[in-house]
Amino acid sequence: MSGLVIDGIASLVTNDPGSGRGPLGVVEDAALVVQDGRVAWAGPRTRLPEGAGGERYDAGGRAVIPGFVDSHAHLVFAGDRAPEFEARMSGRPYTAGGIRTTVAATREASDDALRANVRRLVAEALRSGTTTIECKSGYGLTVADEARSLRVAGEHTSEVTYLGAHVVPPEFAGDSDAYAELVAGAMLDACAPHARWIDVFCDRGAFDGDQTRAILTAGRQRGLVPRVHAGQLGPGPGVRIAVELGAASADHLTHLSDADVEALAGGGTVATLLPGAEFSTRSPYPDARRLIDAGATVALAADCNPGSSYTTSIPFCVALAVRDMRMTPDEAVWSATMGGARALRRSDVGHLAPGARADIVLLDAPSHVHLSYRPGVPLVARVWKDGRPVA
Ligand code: NIG
Ligand code: FE
């Protein structure tokens, strides 16, 4: 594969503190060299290695950042829930129950319809700068429908998460333990070969602490790494269980106890915040400041799903995190790139140091600060994935 030299970069976020200013490793008046889909060199353009060959691209005095790493998405579904959103905006609260509406539509849908939906949303995410995206099952909730959801997800991303424990489906109403046993038994057997991660919605109206622990432990025995939906609708044991089981991340964290903050600060579990969900459910935002100040690793993700957060836009989430969660513009950009990579335990994405995947976003702006300074404006001008232009 031939090389690429991106020149004329006003401000380059490398997320490599060794090669530039601050934790974001910002280099001004920069250039970037790509070879065989990987970053070969990044630095001040005055030091561009001689003989760096290949196609030249002039960034025209604009900013370049790493592609966003969205570590939390629910893309395998059919239909939408606009009426539920409308009712919510007239005062009805968000509950886990709405998930069942999407489960019914998803079970009815053909494989091709599900495939088309994932393809549409992955392409939409790419246009707003997301070059790595995780994708969960969770709207099938039968052995066959969860397995096919994971197969469809796997056609579009390698970050596939088994979320059979999203809610208790109607045919198990009143017997959530029997459903939890299925999730940790026959359903896991069918799903484990198609997934890298296992997730449980541990919350009011979904699964309790004992069920969560049993399901995640069974998943771990099958080689899946846990992640947990924790503290979205109310306080609960989700964070504690996530940390105890070595989960890669605990997600949502709208309701956090002091002990939860302490556990996240000390452990290897990333705190993943999803401000699109608070925005679209009119809920209070999670306390990012408290987590960061305590020393936790914070990721930002879009949580795209048809119920609580029907957006794929990480720039929108970055703006919310800065405006409403007291994150600085630098912190929010870091959390949406490196933070997401940490949550997915990936060292090849989320940064632009030599050796990293050449997943690159050019902004129609002089610096990454404009992502939160200019909310709602489509600032993503061009996206390269593995060194190839894709959007
Ligand atoms: O992450 N919390 C659980 N799952 C989704 C919502 C799913 C839905 O409402 O369809 C979330 O917000
Ligand atoms: Fe979610």
Query: In this model, does residue 98 exceed pLDDT 80?
Result: yes
306 in contact with ligand 1, CB cutoff 6 A: yes
Q: Is the pLDDT of residue 267 over 80?
A: no
**Tens digits of residue pLDDT in 157-214:** 999 999 999 999 999 999 999 999 999 999 999 999 999 999 999 999 999 999 999 9
| Mean local confidence (pLDDT), 360-385 | 98
Report how far apart the first and last C-alpha atoms of the chain are (Å, whole number). Answer: 19
Interval between CA 364 and ligand 1 midpoint (Å): 32
Average pLDDT over residues 122-149: 98
Q: What confidence score (pLDDT) does residue 388 get?
A: 97
Same domain, 332 and 312: yes
Single-letter amino acid, residue 125? A
Tokens of 220: 């771990």
Q: Residue range 276-302: average pLDDT?
A: 97
Let me know whether 359 and 330 are in one domain. no
Residue 270's CATH number:
3.20.20.140
pLDDT-above-70 percentage for the chain: 100
The mean pLDDT value for 261-280 works out to: 96
- Our count of domains for the chain comes to 2
Mark whether 22 and 79 lie in a shared domain: no
Q: Tokens representing 75?
A: 């893309």
CB of 385 within 8 A of CB of 126? yes
Is the domain of 270 the same as that of 361? Answer: no
Mean pLDDT, the chain, rounded, equals 97
CA of 317 to the centre of ligand 2 (A): 14
Cβ atoms within 10 Å of 266's Cβ, excluding its own = 12
Range(s) of the domain holding residue 339: 69-343
**Model pTM?**
0.98
Q: Are 293 and 368 found together in one domain?
A: no
- C-alpha to C-alpha distance for 198 and 218, rounded to whole angstroms: 10
Return the pLDDT at 100: 95
The mean pLDDT of 97-105, rounded to a whole number, is: 96
Pocket flag, ligand 1, residue 98 (CB < 6 Å): yes
Please report the pLDDT score of residue 391 as a whole number: 83
Average pLDDT over residues 323-334: 98
Per-residue pLDDT for 48 more than 80?
Answer: yes
- Over residues 67-82, the mean pLDDT reads 98
Mean pLDDT, residues 313-318 = 98
pLDDT for 266 equals: 86
* Per-residue pLDDT reduced to its tens digit, 201-213: 999 999 999 999 9
Q: Is the pLDDT of residue 233 over 60?
A: yes
Do residue 86 and residue 145 come from a single domain?
A: yes
Among residues 271, 219, 272, the alpha carbon closest in space to that of 245 is found at: 219
How far is 76 from 119, CA to CA, in rounded Å? 10
Question: In CATH, what number is assigned to the domain containing residue 358?
Answer: 2.30.40.10
Q: How confident is the model at residue 258, as a pLDDT?
A: 97
- Pair 255, 107 in one domain: yes
Give the ipTM of the model, two decimals please.
0.96
**Using CA atoms, how far apart are residues 289 and 162, in angstroms rounded to an integer?**
30
56 and 184 inside one domain:
no
Q: Whose CA is nearest to atom 6 of ligand 1?
A: 308
Per-residue pLDDT, 277: 98
Q: Ligand 1 centre from 305 Cα, in Å?
A: 6
> How many CB atoms are closer than 10 A to CB 330?
18
Alpha-carbon 257 to chain mean position: 23
pLDDT above 60 for 1? no
Is the minimum distance from the CB of 278 to ligand 1 under 6 angstroms?
A: no
Checking if the pLDDT of 142 tops 80, the result is yes
Confidence band, pLDDT 50/70/90 cuts, at residue 268: very high
Please give the Cα distance from 384 to 391 (Å, whole number): 7
* pLDDT tens readout for residues 118-129: 999 999 999 999
Residue 50 confidence (pLDDT) above 90: no
Residues 46 and 87 both lie in one domain: no
307 CA from centroid of ligand 2 (Å): 10
Q: Say if residue 10 is in the same domain as residue 87.
A: no
Same domain, 150 and 53: no
Q: How far apart are CA 162 and CA 175, in angstroms?
A: 21
Verify that 118 and 57 share a domain, yes or no: no
- In this prediction, residue 337 has a pLDDT band, given cuts at 50, 70 and 90, of very high
Query: Which ligand has the nearest atom to the CA of 73?
Result: 2
